[in-house]
């Protein structure tokens, strides 16, 4: 009886140790980067080319709030901070999305770019009231970006490979 217990414990211990030491395959990280990164670049460029980005963002957020789709506790923040400062938020969203996309696509400071992307995706999910589980809408992007953060996605055929050699203690790459 004790042999079974010892054997199952060692199997669980081995499984746990192997799981923690497992790495995300480089090809999967590269695929995520090459799908998500250009999407952020495209959205950032859309806002760059918009004639009146702040007006467009203001109208879009106002419309979503009026439709009642926004998460209830998030509405006061939108009404008291975002809408009155639509110009500032248009600038932040435009450059945040564009630079996040460049960072992720080229694998340069990927963890930082992915963290900014998670923040953007979470805010969009709250705006559009996407449920947290099961993964849907903007949360999908957030979960993929979490994989890039945890898997050091920029070290798979990215600039972060060289940056990590130069500054090995920095956690951004």
Neighbours of 2 (CB within 10 A): 6
- Report DSSP letters for 127-142, one per residue: HTT--SSS--THHHHH
Taking the C-alpha atoms of residue 166 and residue 50, their distance in angstroms, rounded to an integer, is 39
Is the pTM for the entire model greater than 0.85? no
Which whole number is the average pLDDT over 14-31?
69
pLDDT tens sequence across 155-173: 888 999 989 889 988 877 7
* Residue 82 reports pLDDT greater than 60: yes
**pLDDT-derived band at 17, boundaries 50, 70, 90:** low
**pLDDT-derived band at 59, boundaries 50, 70, 90:** very high
**pLDDT-derived band at 9, boundaries 50, 70, 90:** low
Neighbours of 55 (CB within 10 A): 13
Neighbours of 162 (CB within 10 A): 14
Q: Which two tokens stand for residue 87?
A: 């110009």
Taking the C-alpha atoms of residue 52 and residue 120, their distance in angstroms, rounded to an integer, is 20
pLDDT tens sequence across 115-148: 999 999 999 989 988 766 555 678 888 989 999 9
What pLDDT is recorded for position 53? 93
What are the extents of the domains in the chain?
Answer: 24-166
What pLDDT is recorded for position 22? 55
What pLDDT is recorded for position 6? 47
Q: Which two tokens stand for residue 20?
A: 């923690």
Taking the C-alpha atoms of residue 103 and residue 114, their distance in angstroms, rounded to an integer, is 8
């Amino acid at each position: 009886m004790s042999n079974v217990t010892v054997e199952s414990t060692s199997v669980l211990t081995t499984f746990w140790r192997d799981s923690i030491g497992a790495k995300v395959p480089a090809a999967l990280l590269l695929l995520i980067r090459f799908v998500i990164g250009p999407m952020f670049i495209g959205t950032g460029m859309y806002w760059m080319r918009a004639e009146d980005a702040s007006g467009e963002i203001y109208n879009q957020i106002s419309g979503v709030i009026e439709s009642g789709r926004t998460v209830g506790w998030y509405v006061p923040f939108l009404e008291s901070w975002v809408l009155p400062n639509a110009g500032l938020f248009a600038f932040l969203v435009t450059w945040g999305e564009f630079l996040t996309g460049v960072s992720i696509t080229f694998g340069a400071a990927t963890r930082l770019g992915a963290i900014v992307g998670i923040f953007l995706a979470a805010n969009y999910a709250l705006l559009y009231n996407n449920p947290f589980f099961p993964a849907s809408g903007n949360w999908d992007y957030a979960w993929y970006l979490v994989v890039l953060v945890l898997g050091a996605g920029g070290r798979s055929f990215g600039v972060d490979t060289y940056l990590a050699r130069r500054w090995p203690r920095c956690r951004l790459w």
